[in-house]
Structure 1
Amino acid sequence: MTVRYPPGEILLKLHARFGPAVKAGPSYAYLLGPEANRFLFANSELFSWREAFDLLVPVDGPTSLIVSDGEDHRRRRRLVQPALHHRQISTYLDIMTATADATIDAWRPGQRIDLYQEFRAAIRRSTIQSLFGARLGGEADFFGTELQPLLDLIDRLPQAVDVHRRLRTPTWRRAMAARARVDERIYAEIARTRAGASEVDDHALATLVHGGDEQLSDLEIRDQMVTLIAAGYETTSAAMAWALYSVLSDREVYERAKGQQDREYLNGIVQETLRLYPPAVISARKVVEGFEFHGKRFRPGTLLLYSPYVTHRLPELWEDPLAFRPERWQGHKAAPHEFLPFGGGPHRCIGATMATTELAVMLGRVVARADLRLLPQRIRATSPAAMRPRNGLRAEVR
């Protein structure tokens, strides 16, 4: 059974009643559905990312790709991209496989586990080791512990984050102390790599440090590293939980996926998971240049929200949209404005290929090597930024 997310359902109703443009006040609006997505992705010069995602700066930093605009964004993206090219990602497959196998090998028959937390830890280790080498990969638990207060801080409405910042609440102070510990460790590794002490020359940190004629500053490297680590495992592990929930809820899907020869079907499971449970229910843009869309005028300063969740569940785009049907992806390639789990346009998530590869590899290992049964539980979705099962995903090893 497909899990629904109440805030996303409200947006679906808004779209059904008012169409693709919904004004919620003088400085707040929704652009919903494929027509709106196409407009947003084709007119990036009208919008600011920095102003829309300012609440992420306490975690990701002021120079992160996700809060960069214009030429700064283009330059940083150009320098980060080589580490996330599909040819480079192919060199990470052994790490992804070994990490998934180590997780599975630790399970025992009769054991009850939280699949969300199990693979959150596994994907964090795999991501850090793949991108930044074995030294940092060995400290995955440290990064998980220290980044959690920061992730908890921003898992709130922007207004609430601003209140914590202005009042310097205990929540804010804990998060900033954790950030200082993370930064100390990352800056030490950057210095070590600059000094030529890196044990691997082709991982992402070496690429960021030795970027050829153009180079990133230490602050820029720090911000890209934290973004790739935190955003990488937070969103990918949520998608992994939904993939496992969907597969284990349907024995026919599970048995077909278990026949490892059908790689296309396994990739269809990943795509169908990202359709029904996109990493971000909503995303945002801040208007910097006024424009008209669908008969409505939008002024500078307006915060626009668009929703992959809405687009992915529209019956005019997807036959039987609430059904989990991996086979719908066989021979099908959706248009960018119709399927946007990683956003679109020049700001499309730079880690999209890394995420989908990690999901396919780890899911493949689970269905091939483990026998799991979902325990009776109420599955509810939470968080618009990285939609995940609110209380985890409990299963029994058989």
Structure 2
Amino acid sequence: METDHAAHPPSLPTVTLPIAELATWASRRRGPVFHTWTGLRRYAYLLGPEANEFVFAHDRLFRFREAMSALVAVDGETALIVSDGLDHARRRSVVRPGMHHRQVRSYLSWMSQAADEALSTITAGEPFDAYQLFRAAIRRSTMLSLFGERIAASSDQIGAHLQPLLELVDHMPEVIDLHQRLRTRTWRRSMAARAKADEFVYAEIARVQQQPEDAETQVLSTLVHGRDGTGSALSDVEIRDQVVSLIAAGYETTSAAMAWTLYGLGGRPELIDRARDQVLEVTGGQPPTAEHLPRLTLVSAAITEALRLHPPAAMTARYVVEGFTFAGKKVRPGTHVLISPYITHRSPELYEDPLVYRPERWLDGDGGLVTRAPHDYLPFGGGVHRCIGSTMATTELTVMLARLLSRGRFRVPEQKVRAVSVAAMRPKGGLQVVLEG
């Protein structure tokens, strides 16, 4: 439990996710482990920090392939999120160098470029949809940083191709299975969109294979020319799946986190002023550099708190391959286990005033940043499948917020904001923001 009892001005109402709140209600009555059925699938909810720690420490009991099968429609059969065991380790080892924090810092200028291009389109004093604006900016930033100008130049086109797929995987797995079996119009539209995106990505893979010198610093080049510990290369299909996963997951979840950060700060105008003062003092109003990032502590705390209240994946799943007992309850093989960052992060046993947006809880007395145990704070999951793009995401968020604050104060007008999607927890209908200049 936190001990900071300092008074803070009231913030905007906390936005909840109904399906996660239902699980919260059930856990209060039935304990940290309970079972449900949806169609033919058996689910076991393992909720709370002890459950998170158990799941992260016992990876051998679980598989991801069956649990995340709904994502195959977008990410592909060999994506990291649906890979297990040696296949997962091999693919991850090839992707990892491009996601290392030192490599991510080399992308800072592209992140600022994408932010500034997007922000140049807004007019001070007039509302704009911050979710959609930063969604496009983060998509372009991700594609510039990871894959270079050729793919980034078509970021809106690829985004349009991926949108039907992202809408498809918003459904429950059983619904996606039904669309696939019946070959519904939704399914056919999604597969046609995927074919268009794949055509572009495979052409870019072929180009880099023939002209490696054109993309030496981008992740696509790393994927094409990288080798695992045995000297094995990824196949074209594997490369495609990692490329699409990084693009789709990168902008879909990161843009939602950006919107929630702005929403939270919108209820704390005095904190906006403090964060803006820090950005101007540290950067002089210029694009942030690698040396600036550790000094933008208020910006980092604002983002960390938004990810606490609105984690990218409100709930995440594993498929049980070896039965076990936890908290006195047996969980059988074939069960889909669900753990919840959302429920953990809103626990009053872990966080004082858990429904209040309070970035100060992440700052120590000396202005440094506070960290929490990985089973207490898990916006990017945990264990061997922890999101490989977490550093990329938090760096993009820091740069985007710093560039916005450099332009002036902003406010969030009164509006109805609702969260949707367990997979991405985004604000339905966007988020209206006004830049005051």
Q: TM-score over 0.5 for the alignment?
A: yes
**Pairwise CA distance, 1:197:** 5.2
Q: Which residue of 2 aligns with 1:310?
A: 343
Letter of the 2:221 counterpart:
A
Q: Is contact 2:208–2:215 with CA below 8 Å preserved after alignment? A: no
- Is residue 217 from structure 1 mapped to residue 217 from structure 2 by the alignment? no
Q: Which residue of 1 aligns with 2:352?
A: 319
- Is residue 388 from structure 1 mapped to residue 426 from structure 2 by the alignment? yes
Question: What is the CA–CA distance in structure 2 between the aligned matches of 1:200 and 1:48, rounded to whole Å?
Answer: 34
Question: What is the CA–CA distance in structure 1 between the aligned matches of 2:359 and 2:318, rounded to whole Å?
Answer: 31
Indicate which of 215, 236, 256 corresponds to 1:238: 256
What is the correspondence of 1:337-356 to structure 2 with a 5 Å cutoff? 337-356=375-394
**Pairwise CA distance, 1:12:** 1.7
Letter of the 1:312 counterpart:
H
Question: What is the CA–CA distance in structure 2 between the aligned matches of 1:64 and 1:198, rounded to whole Å?
Answer: 26
Letter of the 1:355 counterpart:
A
Residue by residue over 1:103-138, the C-alpha shift from the partner in whole angstroms, topping out at 9 and shown as x without a partner, is 112212343210000000000000011000111011
Normalising by structure 2, report the TM-score: 0.89
What is the correspondence of 1:271-290 to structure 2 with a 5 Å cutoff? 271-290=304-323
- Is residue 203 from structure 1 mapped to residue 218 from structure 2 by the alignment? yes
Letter of the 2:425 counterpart:
M
Question: What is the CA–CA distance in structure 2 between the aligned matches of 1:197 and 1:87, rounded to whole Å?
Answer: 21
Letter of the 1:166 counterpart:
R
Indicate which of 172, 177, 184 corresponds to 2:192: 177
Q: Which residue of 2 aligns with 1:247?
A: 265
Question: What is the CA–CA distance in structure 2 between the aligned matches of 1:134 and 1:198, rounded to whole Å?
Answer: 14
Q: Which residue of 2 aligns with 1:143?
A: 158
**Pairwise CA distance, 1:256:** 1.2
Q: Which residue of 2 aligns with 1:24?
A: 36
Letter of the 2:432 counterpart:
R
SS at match of 1:230: helix
Q: Which residue of 2 aligns with 1:301?
A: 334
Indicate which of 366, 372, 385 corresponds to 1:334: 372
Question: What is the CA–CA distance in structure 2 between the aligned matches of 1:175 and 1:351, rounded to whole Å?
Answer: 25
**Pairwise CA distance, 1:155:** 0.6
Residue by residue over 1:316-358, the C-alpha shift from the partner in whole angstroms, topping out at 9 and shown as x without a partner, is 1011111111111124210000000000000000000000010
Q: Which residue of 1 aligns with 2:67?
A: 52
Normalising by structure 1, report the TM-score: 0.98
SS at match of 2:379: coil
What is the correspondence of 1:110-149 to structure 2 with a 5 Å cutoff? 110-149=125-164
**Pairwise CA distance, 1:222:** 0.1
Q: Is contact 1:49–1:286 with CA below 8 Å preserved after alignment? A: yes
| Identity, % of aligned positions | 55
Q: Is contact 1:192–1:198 with CA below 8 Å preserved after alignment? A: no
SS at match of 2:351: coil
Letter of the 2:26 counterpart:
L
**Pairwise CA distance, 1:198:** 5.2
SS at match of 2:55: helix
Q: Is contact 1:15–1:33 with CA below 8 Å preserved after alignment? A: no
Indicate which of 223, 239, 244 corresponds to 1:226: 244
**Pairwise CA distance, 1:239:** 0.2
What is the correspondence of 1:99-118 to structure 2 with a 5 Å cutoff? 99-118=114-133
Q: Is contact 1:23–1:29 with CA below 8 Å preserved after alignment? A: yes
Indicate which of 173, 182, 200 corresponds to 1:158: 173
Q: Which runs of 5+ in 1 are unaligned?
A: none
Q: Is contact 1:34–1:338 with CA below 8 Å preserved after alignment? A: yes
Question: What is the CA–CA distance in structure 2 between the aligned matches of 1:27 and 1:188, rounded to whole Å?
Answer: 41
Indicate which of 6, 24, 29 corresponds to 1:12: 24
Q: Which residue of 2 aligns with 1:363?
A: 401
Letter of the 1:309 counterpart:
Y
Letter of the 2:427 counterpart:
P
187-196 vs 249-258, which moves further? 249-258
Aligned length: 398
SS at match of 1:151: helix
SS at match of 1:51: coil
**Where does structure 1 differ by over 6 angstroms across 4 or more consecutive aligned residues?**
none
Q: Is contact 1:281–1:386 with CA below 8 Å preserved after alignment? A: yes
Letter of the 1:241 counterpart:
A
SS at match of 2:65: helix
Q: Is contact 1:131–1:204 with CA below 8 Å preserved after alignment? A: yes
Letter of the 2:359 counterpart:
P
Residue by residue over 1:86-118, the C-alpha shift from the partner in whole angstroms, topping out at 9 and shown as x without a partner, is 000000000111111111122123432100000
SS at match of 2:128: strand
Q: Is contact 2:276–2:409 with CA below 8 Å preserved after alignment? A: no
Question: What is the CA–CA distance in structure 2 between the aligned matches of 1:339 and 1:371, rounded to whole Å?
Answer: 29
Residue by residue over 1:230-278, the C-alpha shift from the partner in whole angstroms, topping out at 9 and shown as x without a partner, is 0000000000000011112211121111111461111111110110000
Indicate which of 81, 85, 89 corresponds to 1:74: 89
Change (3 A) 1:287 1:69: same
SS at match of 1:316: coil
Question: What is the CA–CA distance in structure 2 between the aligned matches of 1:396 and 1:348, rounded to whole Å?
Answer: 35
Question: What is the CA–CA distance in structure 2 between the aligned matches of 1:307 and 1:172, rounded to whole Å?
Answer: 29
SS at match of 1:292: strand
